[in-house]
């Protein structure tokens, strides 16, 4: 027998003052209510109710058990109400993982606006360029910049970014500007350690696909470090447009071989499952989707299809 149902039936009998009244309130038969209370008394080994043909009354044990039952039933009702309310309102701790550079440049300025809309959400933001396991490490949402492979995770594309080959004018004046990707094998290149193809850089140009095995002089697992080295005239980088666009616009960097395009990456919000997605996760994804849609729309006339 369900211990909760026994307790609920007992409390209903006491509140109604009769088994008939309790049966009507619960939508079950009188026989069922009598059986539930009888089984409860048998399990506890005490009598909870004095039964006469005219009225019911609580025993001393019954008074104690009824008081505690009402407390527990009220707490359960309150807990259910809180969970139901939180399913519609964004509340609680929201753990977010994002790439380091993107998190600083493009997400950090947004958190204040998000919390202004959802003040009951507490944000815990972890920046790391490695691919974390959302479930094992307890994150609600991760921002990933990648070509997503088949995954058990659910994803929402927020934007795109293209990988741009570029260098400082000073470096190119000193070493010469490459005219074909194969020439990169003889240049100083600054490589991102987590790049999926490591030292092999791939492009699509006028004659189709081409790849080159580079020989990096600097490796880093951080995009801003690669950018700083390029701005310091140390070599050629292949970095996302969201990181290098500003320096390309000012002339601090120059795009190299623009007719040879590298890959385009999606910027995604990923989360573990479609089932029972919490309000706080739904709120974050809606907020980021709206922001990046507006952000890209405002930039599109100047940069065409670039992210």
Last residue of a domain, one of 58, 86, 114: 86
Residue-wise over 39-66: b if at least 16 C-beta within 10 A, else e? ebbeeeeeebbeeeeeebebeeebeebb
Indicate whether 70 and 187 sit together in one domain: no
Indicate whether 191 and 150 sit together in one domain: no
Indicate whether 172 and 145 sit together in one domain: no
**Joined tokens for residue 56:** 């019911």
CATH of the domain at 42: 1.10.10.10
The pTM for the full model equals: 0.62
Last residue of a domain, one of 35, 60, 86: 86
Domain extent for 150: 92-160+266-303
Helices (H), 93-240: 100-102, 111-117, 134-137, 169-175, 223-231
Indicate whether 105 and 247 sit together in one domain: no
Indicate whether 155 and 166 sit together in one domain: no
CA dist., res. 122 & res. 119, Å (int) = 8
pLDDT of residue 83: 62
Contact criterion met (CB below 8 Å) for 204 and 260: yes
Task: Show pLDDT as tens, one digit a residue, over the chain (307 residues).
Answer: 588 889 999 999 998 889 999 999 888 898 999 999 999 899 999 999 988 877 889 999 999 999 888 888 887 876 766 565 555 678 889 999 999 989 999 999 999 999 999 999 999 999 988 887 888 888 999 999 887 765 667 888 999 889 999 999 999 999 999 999 999 999 999 999 878 778 899 999 998 999 999 999 999 988 899 999 999 999 999 999 999 999 999 999 999 999 999 988 889 999 887 666 888 999 999 999 999 886 654 344 333 333 2
pLDDT of residue 109: 95
Per DSSP bridges, beta strands 56-58 and 49-51 are antiparallel
| Residues facing 29 on adjacent strands | none
Last residue of a domain, one of 86, 104, 136: 86
* N-terminal to C-terminal alpha carbon distance within the chain: 61
| Residues facing 123 on adjacent strands | 94
Indicate whether 177 and 259 sit together in one domain: yes
Residues 6+ apart with CB under 8 A from 233: 168, 170, 171, 174
Indicate whether 56 and 188 sit together in one domain: no
pLDDT of residue 260: 94
pLDDT of residue 274: 66
**Joined tokens for residue 60:** 């001393």
C-alpha distances (whole Å) from 286 to each of 155, 164, 169, 270, 293 are: 13, 29, 41, 13, 11
CATH of the domain at 123: 3.40.190.10
Indicate whether 250 and 208 sit together in one domain: yes
Indicate whether 150 and 271 sit together in one domain: yes
Contact criterion met (CB below 8 Å) for 188 and 234: yes
SS3 state of residue 89: coil
Indicate whether 148 and 175 sit together in one domain: no
Q: Is the dihedral of CA 167, 173, 174, 175 positive or negative?
A: positive
Indicate whether 102 and 129 sit together in one domain: yes
Indicate whether 19 and 57 sit together in one domain: yes
CA dist., res. 241 & res. 32, Å (int) = 70
- What tens digit of pLDDT does each residue of 138-154 get? 899 999 988 776 566 78
CATH of the domain at 167: 3.40.190.290
Number of domains in the chain: 3
- What tens digit of pLDDT does each residue of 39-71 get? 989 999 999 998 887 788 999 999 999 988 888
């Amino acid at each position: 027998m369900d211990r909760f149902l026994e307790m609920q039936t007992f409390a209903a009998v006491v509140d109604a003052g009769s088994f008939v009244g309790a049966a009507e309130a619960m939508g079950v038969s009188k026989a069922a209510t009598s059986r539930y209370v009888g089984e409860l008394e048998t399990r506890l080994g005490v009598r909870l109710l004095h039964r006469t043909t005219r009225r019911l009354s609580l025993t001393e044990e019954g008074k104690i058990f009824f008081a505690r039952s009402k407390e527990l039933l009220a707490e359960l009702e309150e807990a259910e109400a809180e969970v139901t309310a939180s399913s519609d309102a964004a509340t609680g701790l929201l753990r977010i993982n994002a790439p380091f550079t993107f998190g600083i440049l493009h997400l950090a300025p947004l958190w204040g606006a998000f919390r202004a809309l959802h003040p009951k959400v507490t944000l815990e933001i972890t920046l790391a360029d490695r691919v974390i396991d959302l479930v094992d490490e307890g994150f609600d949402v991760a921002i990933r910049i990648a070509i997503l492979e088949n995954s058990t995770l659910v994803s929402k594309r927020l934007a795109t970014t293209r990988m741009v080959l570029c260098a400082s004018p000073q470096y190119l004046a000193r070493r010469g500007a490459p005219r074909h990707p194969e020439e990169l094998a003889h240049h100083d290149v600054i490589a991102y350690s987590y790049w999926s193809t490591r030292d092999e850089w791939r492009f699509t140009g006028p004659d189709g696909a081409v790849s080159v095995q580079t020989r990096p002089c600097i490796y880093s697992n951080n995009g801003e470090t690669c950018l700083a080295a390029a701005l310091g005239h140390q070599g050629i980088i292949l970095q996302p447009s969201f990181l290098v666009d500003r320096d390309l616009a000012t002339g601090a960097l120059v795009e190299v071989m623009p007719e040879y395009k590298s890959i385009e990456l999606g910027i995604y919000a990923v989360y573990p499952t479609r089932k029972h997605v919490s309000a706080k996760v739904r709120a974050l994804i809606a907020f980021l989707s709206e922001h990046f849609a507006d952000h890209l729309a405002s930039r599109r006339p100047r940069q065409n299809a670039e992210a």
